[in-house]
Amino acid sequence: MEFIRGMIEKLNAFLVEQLGELGPLIAVGGLGVLLVLIAIPTVMKKSKDPYKKLRESRGDGTTDGKRDRLRLGGKNEKLDRFAQYLEPQDEEELSATQLQMIRAGYRSKSSIQMFNFAKLALGIGGLILGTLYVMVSGGGGSAQNSVLMVIIPGFVGYYAPKYWITKRIQTREDQINSGFPDALDLMLVCVEAGQSLDQAIIKVAREIKASYPPLAEEFEIVSYEMKAGKDKTKVLRDMGERVGIQDVNSFITTLIQSATFGTSVAEALRVYASEMRDKRVLRAEEKANKLPTKLTLFTMLFCVPPLLIILIGPSIYGIATDLGGS
- 31 occurs within a structural domain: yes
Closest CA to 146 of 40, 247, 17, 56: 17
Q: Phi/psi of residue 82, each to 5°?
A: -110, 30
- Considering the domain architecture, whether residues 232 and 253 belong to the same structural domain is answered as yes
- Compute the distance between CA of residue 250 and CA of residue 258 in angstroms, rounded to an integer: 12
Are 252 and 236 in contact, with CB atoms under 8 Å apart?
yes
- Considering the domain architecture, whether residues 110 and 156 belong to the same structural domain is answered as yes
Query: Structural domain tally of the chain?
Result: 2
- Considering the domain architecture, whether residues 209 and 93 belong to the same structural domain is answered as no
Among the candidates 120, 146, 168, a domain finishes at 168
- 202 occurs within a structural domain: yes
- Considering the domain architecture, whether residues 102 and 191 belong to the same structural domain is answered as no
Nearest-Å Rg of the Cα atoms of the chain is 31
- 27 occurs within a structural domain: yes
- 160 occurs within a structural domain: yes
- Considering the domain architecture, whether residues 109 and 192 belong to the same structural domain is answered as no
Angle of the 2-19 helix axis to the 23-44 helix axis, nearest 10: 100
State CA 319 to chain mean position distance: 57
- Considering the domain architecture, whether residues 217 and 87 belong to the same structural domain is answered as no
Q: Give the pLDDT of residue 265.
A: 82
Q: Give the pLDDT of residue 66.
A: 39
- Considering the domain architecture, whether residues 98 and 242 belong to the same structural domain is answered as no
- Considering the domain architecture, whether residues 110 and 243 belong to the same structural domain is answered as no
- 19 occurs within a structural domain: yes
- Considering the domain architecture, whether residues 145 and 183 belong to the same structural domain is answered as no
- 323 occurs within a structural domain: no
Q: Phi/psi of residue 213, each to 5°?
A: -60, -40
Q: Give the pLDDT of residue 167.
A: 92
- Considering the domain architecture, whether residues 144 and 23 belong to the same structural domain is answered as yes
Are 16 and 23 in contact, with CB atoms under 8 Å apart?
yes
- 187 occurs within a structural domain: yes
- Considering the domain architecture, whether residues 36 and 145 belong to the same structural domain is answered as yes
Q: pLDDT by residue for the chain (326 residues), tens digit each?
A: 566 666 667 777 776 666 666 666 677 667 766 766 676 665 555 555 555 555 555 554 444 443 333 333 445 556 666 665 567 777 788 888 888 888 888 888 778 888 888 888 888 888 888 888 877 776 556 667 777 787 888 888 889 989 999 999 999 988 888 888 888 888 888 888 888 888 888 888 888 888 888 888 888 888 888 888 888 888 888 888 888 888 888 888 888 888 788 778 888 888 888 888 888 888 888 888 888 888 888 888 888 888 888 888 888 878 888 776 66
Instruction: Check the CA dihedral 215-221-227-232 and report its sign.
Output: negative
- Considering the domain architecture, whether residues 225 and 269 belong to the same structural domain is answered as yes
DSSP, res 195: -
- Compute the distance between CA of residue 267 and CA of residue 230 in angstroms, rounded to an integer: 25
- 324 occurs within a structural domain: no
Among the candidates 152, 168, 184, a domain finishes at 168
Q: Where is 228: in which H helix or E strand?
A: none
Among the candidates 114, 140, 168, a domain finishes at 168
Residue 106 belongs to what domain range?
2-45+75-168
